[in-house]
Chains A and B, each alone.
Chain A
Amino acid sequence: MLFEIENLYKIYGNHSVKTPALQGVSFKVAEGEFLSIMGPSGSGKSTLMHIMSLLDRPTQGKCKFEGKSIDDFDDDELARIRNKKMGFVFQSFNLLPKTSVFDNVRLPLVYTDFPKETQKEMVRQSLKSVGIFHRASHFPNQLSGGEQQKTAIARAIVNHPSVIFADEPTGNLDSKAGEQIMGIFQRLNDEGHTVILVTHERYTALMAKRMILLKDGKIVSDELVKSRRYAQDGLIK
């Protein structure tokens, strides 16, 4: 099992005012899944993703990644795991300004011990895989939204992670670019990557294989997507 989530609670706030974000969430994720976590804003889906992606710790309950509880690691060890095994795609792309596409994609590798030449080769492969290689020396402000998100995906997969987290990846894109991005995720999943997608759009969530619906910090439903949508324009140009 990639993830084993048991009775997870996350409560924000101090002694007097407590805001529960997650209230007893349990589920498992196997390798190779394409899971979408859906819910309205405030449902706790982002909090859940933060804990699963080792950026945050639960107040109570267990979160195991590859069989090991995250409680057993300190912050720097979690950073190592994120660096080696996880990829991140954000709604607002989060590319470094005034830094080339190539160097943006290389960012996670800066914190690894790979030799420089290996790093460059990994970056090239990753850029080719999302079809943005021809933009390698451009800067983010010279790219369209879709191209920026492709760069972000290239950055997420450059370290060959076992799981890719995507937090509202189509939120800042027009529908055509969004469709293309989702197509890339579907293809990456087909190639064996586990993808965990957080979204509030049912339309996007239906492109996953499995969908967890959250509301007020609790799982409302957890089921396989029966009529899975396939991105119409999944081909890379």
Chain B
Amino acid sequence: MKWNDSLNIAITSLKINKTRSFLTILGIVIGIASVIAVISVGEGAQTLILKQIMALGPNNVYIEPGPLDIQRTNMRGGEMAQQLMEGMGVKTLTLKDLEAIEKDPLVERVAPIVTMVSRVIYQNNDKRATIFGTTPAYNQIFNVQTILGSDFTDFDVQSRAKVAVLGYKISEDLFKEENPIGKTIRIKETNFKVIGVMEEQGGQSFLSFDEQIYVPITTAQEFLLGINYVQSSIAKIISQDKIEEAMETIRLILRERHNIYNPEGDLSKDDFKVISGKETAEMMSTITDILTLLLSSIAAIALVVGGIGIMNIMLVSVAERTKEIGLRKAVGARKKDILYQFLMESVVLTAIGGVIGILMGILFSYLLGIVMTMSLEIQWYYVISPSSIILALSVAAGIGIIFGIYPSRKAAELSPIEALRYE
């Protein structure tokens, strides 16, 4: 028997039961479309995050206090993210450490950071904002300019000046039409004089610069937090190909300053972490990978349900056509001819479902991208990778074979006499 004869028989039989075939195909369409859409959203999210991390500066290195957990020296991205959060409470990194690092020729600038979230009050207006205690290096590293007034200076840092520079949006929220320069805002019982407003960065970052308030780090340490250490810091390296070298240099400087004897460079012995933007990106993509996998598994359930639908309909088809199977066997069909005939039928069902599902999935992903862009006010990246289409197609074909094989074998094993006698 030729394969195109099998195909013709399969198509004819599917045409005879149009509604039934349509509903069965629909099950596969939904499954495949949701897998495609979920993978697309996952990849879109990943692209978005990676672009933002890279936008923050490919030359940047993050220096964080606190050791790598000994139990987790082989940890993966997800755990790394957790550690970054935990590192906030560790007191081992000081401004003096960072000043020493900034003197290294490989390092262009170092911005120490302490942060807190607090209410900010101006007259009757009351907003929550992220307060960044840092130095002028911060806005220089990210190349953000003021549109009103000016950024605070190194002198402001040394003198613990109570001055603040506002992000664009927080400034609008607090001052509306008013000129904020020279006005006084209140953060945690302390009055700050507004000396500048930063230019608008656009709402496309999860680290929304526009909603941050910058104050000198010394002021924040003393008046807002009551601490004398640094929670985090960003160092800008002179060039991208010097990053590895610079990271090692920074580690050596800190080991010496912290009296850590660690000639073998065992990172778990350090009381600090030096992480590159690239590593941060990898860590974030691990997180989105996990999310994508999780969501795809849920979508895959829809696919399995579709497959069960195929099996069900194939069993019905075999039962209905028992007599036909008997006849075909009587006139010379071998077991494998019957097997292929029914297998072809289920593969045709899933293949049609697969192709329509892919088209629907692409459409869904596209629409989702539009919705995301509008609702989250971000530039969504619409990604359909060829690998997800190949995956979906092979999964569809696989389902056709896996869920078709049992009914098809049942048909192939029928005894011709009993099948002919069947009414």
Q: Which residues of A contact B (CB under 8 A)?
A: 50, 53, 55-56, 75-76, 79-80, 82-84, 88, 90, 94, 96, 98-99, 107-108, 110-112, 155, 159
Which candidate, B50-58, B112-120, B326-334, B387-395, is the interface stretch facing chain A? B326-334
Query: Once bound together, how far apart are the Cα atoms of A75 and B331, in whole Å?
Result: 13
Given A98-B12, A98-B16, A99-B12, A107:B416 Cβ within 8 A: no
Q: Is the CB of B417 within 8 A of A107?
A: no
What size tier do the contact residues of chain B reach? 20 to 34
State whether B331 touches A84 (Cβ < 8 A): no
In chain B, positions 1-48 with a C-beta closer than 8 Å to chain A are 1-2, 5, 12, 16
Partner of B335, one of A75, A82, A90, A108: A75
Closest chain B residue, CB of each to CB of A82: B332
Chain B nearest CB from A23 CB (Å) reads: 19
Q: Is the CB of B324 within 8 A of A79?
A: no
For the complex formed, measure the closest distance between the CB of B230 and the CB atoms of chain A, giving whole angstroms.
80
Interface residues of B in 302-358 (CB under 8 A from A): 323-324, 326-337
Give Cα distance in the complex from A94 to B323, angstroms. 8
Query: Are B334 and A110 neighbours in the complex by a CB distance under 8 Å?
Result: no
A94 to B2, CA, bound (A): 23
**Alpha-carbon distance between A101 and B303 when the two chains are bound, in angstroms:** 40
* A111 near B334: Cβ-Cβ < 8 Å: yes
Judge whether A50 and B417 touch: CB under 8 Å: yes
* CB within 8 Å for A110 and B335 given contacts A55-B330, A94-B323: no
Q: What distance in Å separates the Cβ of A115 from its nearest Cβ neighbour in chain B?
A: 10
Residues of A within 8 A of B326 (CB): 94
| B16 neighbours in A (Cβ, 8 Å) | 98
Q: How far is the CB of B412 from chain A (nearest CB, A)?
A: 10
CB of B420 within 8 Å of the partner chain? yes
B416 contacts which chain A residues (CB < 8 A)?
Answer: 55
When the two chains form the complex, which single residue of B2, B323, B327, B332 contacts A83, counting CB atoms closer than 8 Å?
B332
Q: What are 7 contact pairs spanning A and B, CB under 8 A?
A: A50-B417, A55-B416, A79-B333, A83-B331, A94-B326, A99-B12, A107-B328
Give chain B's interface residues, CB within 8 Å of chain A.
1-2, 5, 12, 16, 323-324, 326-337, 416-417, 420
A82, A84, A110, A112: the one contacting B330 at CB < 8 Å is A82
Closest to B416 in A: A55
A82: min CB distance to chain B, Å: 5
Contact A155 B12 (CB under 8 A): no
CA distance A88 to B332 in the complex (A): 11
Residues of B within 8 A of A53 (CB): 330
Contact of B1 (CB < 8 Å), options: A50, A76, A110: A110
| C-alpha gap A159/B416 in the complex (Å) | 20
- Please determine whether B329 and A79 come into contact, CB atoms closer than 8 angstroms: yes
Residue of B nearest to A113 (CB): B2
Q: In the assembled complex, how far is the CB of residue A118 from the closest CB belonging to chain B, in whole angstroms? A: 13
Task: Name the one of B1, B417, B420 contacting A111, with C-beta atoms under 8 angstroms.
Answer: B1
Please determine whether B331 and A55 come into contact, CB atoms closer than 8 angstroms: no
Apart from A56-B417, A99-B12: 10 A-B pairs, beta carbons within 8 A: A75-B335, A79-B333, A82-B331, A84-B332, A88-B331, A94-B420, A107-B327, A110-B2, A110-B333, A111-B333
Q: How far, in angstroms, from A75 to B415 measured CA to CA in the complex? A: 10
Most buried by B among A56, A76, A82, A110: A110
Looking at the assembled complex, report how far the CB atom of B25 sits from the nearest CB atom of chain A, in whole angstroms: 20
Q: How far is the CB of A237 from chain B (nearest CB, A)?
A: 27
- Of chain B, the residue at the smallest CB distance from A75 is B335
**CB-nearest residue of chain A relative to B421?**
A46
Chain B residues with Cβ below 8 Å from A90 are 420
Q: Which residue of A lies closest to B323 (CB)?
A: A94
**Inter-chain contact B332/A96, CB cutoff 8 Å:** no
Q: Are B331 and A107 in contact (CB under 8 A)?
A: yes
Complex Cα distance, B329 from A82, in Å, reads 9
Cα(A112)–Cα(B2), bound, Å? 9
Interchain CA distance A159-B332 in the complex, whole Å? 11
Establish whether residues A80 and B420, one from each chain, have CB atoms under 8 Å apart when the complex forms. Answer: no
The smallest beta-carbon distance between A149 and chain B, in angstroms, is 14
